[in-house]
């Protein structure tokens, strides 16, 4: 659930330059118009793993679009979920 392959299928594995591109992606997500500091991108073996929780489906699409743009050509696995807005089903008893 909520996984999305944002990269082109069969794209080249993430290499040495990928680290800087990932850093630039994080910077753009945080400082750009998305203001998204809750999404994390990491180079994992030959792919870039993008994880986090965002407040809306639209926000998720915006993040994915930015990821596709910044990491074009890299193999990317996106695992971004949308916040759950339901009431809790129990309370915690604090002693």
User: b or e along 65-75 (b: 16 or more beta carbons within 10 Å of the residue's beta carbon)?
Assistant: ebbbebbeebb
Between residues 11 and 26, which has the closer beta carbon with respect to other proteins?
26
Of these, 56, 65, 73, 79, which contacts other proteins (CB under 8 A)?
56
Question: Using CB under 8 A as the criterion, what x/- string covers residues 8-47 for binding other proteins?
Answer: ---------------------------x-xx-x-------
User: Is residue 87 involved in binding other proteins (CB under 8 A)?
Assistant: yes
User: Is residue 86 involved in binding other proteins (CB under 8 A)?
Assistant: yes
Q: Contact, 52 vs 78, CB < 8 A?
A: no
User: Is residue 85 involved in binding other proteins (CB under 8 A)?
Assistant: yes
- φ, ψ of residue 15 to 5 degrees: the values are -115, -155
The residues near 49 (Cβ < 8 Å, ≥ 6 apart) are 41, 42, 43, 77, 79
List interacting residues with other proteins (CB under 8 A): 35, 37-38, 40, 52-56, 58-59, 83-88, 91-95
């Amino acid at each position: 659930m909520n996984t999305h392959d944002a990269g082109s299928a069969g794209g080249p594995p993430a290499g040495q330059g990928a680290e800087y591109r990932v850093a630039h992606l994080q910077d753009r997500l945080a400082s750009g118009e998305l203001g998204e500091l809750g999404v994390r991108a990491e180079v994992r073996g030959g792919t870039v793993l993008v994880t986090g929780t965002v407040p809306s489906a639209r926000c998720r699409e915006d993040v994915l679009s930015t990821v596709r743009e910044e990491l074009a050509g890299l193999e990317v696995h996106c695992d971004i979920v949308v916040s759950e807005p339901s009431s809790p089903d129990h309370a915690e008893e604090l002693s």
